Amino acid sequence: MARQEALHPAHTLDISSALPAAAASRPRTAGSERWLIWLFLLPTVLFLVLLLWLPFLQGVWMSFHKWPFIGEPQWIGLQNYRDLFGAAYFWTTMRVTLLYSLSTALQLALALGAALVLNQSFIRLKSVWRGVMLMPYAMPPVVVGAIWMYLLDPDLGMVTHYLLSWGIISKPIYWFSDPVWAKWIIMLVASWTFWPFMFIILLAALQAIPESYYELAEVYGANPWRRFRAVTLPHIRGAMLAAVIIRIAWNLAKIEQPFQLTGGGPGYETSVLSILTYRFAYLSGDFGMAFTVGLLLILVTFVLIAPFLRGFQKQIKQARRR
Q: What's the closest the beta carbon of residue 47 comes to another protein, in angstroms? A: 5
Nearer to another protein, 17 or 74 (CB): 17
In whole angstroms, the minimum distance from the beta carbon of 84 to another protein comes to: 15
> Taking the complex as a whole, how short is the minimal distance between the CB of residue 243 and another protein, in angstroms?
7
- CB environment 16-28: b (16+ within 10 A), e (fewer): eeeeeeeeeeeee
Q: 3-class SS at 75? A: strand
Closest CB to another protein among residues 52, 78: 52
C-alpha closest to that of 126 among 193, 195, 50, 207? 207
> Is the separation of the CB atoms in 84 and 315 below 8 Å?
no
- We find the least distance from the C-beta atom of residue 212 to another protein, in angstroms, to be 18
Taking the least distance from each CB to another protein, the nearer of 114 and 217 is 114
Tell me the closest approach of the beta carbon of residue 279 to another protein, in angstroms.
11
Q: Which is nearer to another protein, 90 or 272 (CB)?
A: 272
Question: For residues 40 and 85, which CB has a smaller minimum distance to another protein in the complex?
Answer: 40
User: Under a CB-based contact definition with an 8 Å cutoff, are residues 316 and 87 in contact?
Assistant: no
CB-based burial, 52-64: b 16+ in 10 Å, e otherwise: eeeeeeebeebbb
Q: How far apart are CB 236 and another protein at their closest, in Å?
A: 9
Residues 284 and 286: their CA atoms lie apart, in Å, by 5
Nearer CB in complex with another protein: 158/180 = 158
What angle do the packed helices 126-138 and 181-207 form, to 10 degrees? 140
Q: Which is nearer to another protein, 270 or 301 (CB)?
A: 301
Among 293, 299, 298, 269, CA closest to 280: 293
**CA pair distance 95, 187, nearest whole angstrom:** 13
Residue nearer to another protein on the CB measure, 2 or 88: 2
- For 275, other C-beta atoms within 10 Å of its C-beta total 24
Q: Are 59 and 294 in contact (CB under 8 A)?
A: yes
To another protein, the closest distance from the beta carbon of 85 in angstroms equals 19
**Residue 216 Cβ vs another protein, minimum distance, rounded to whole Å:** 16
**Distances, alpha carbon 279 to alpha carbons 79, 283, 312, in Å:** 18, 5, 34
Question: Using an 8 Å Cβ cutoff, are 254 and 274 in contact?
Answer: yes
Q: Are 233 and 239 in contact (CB under 8 A)?
A: no
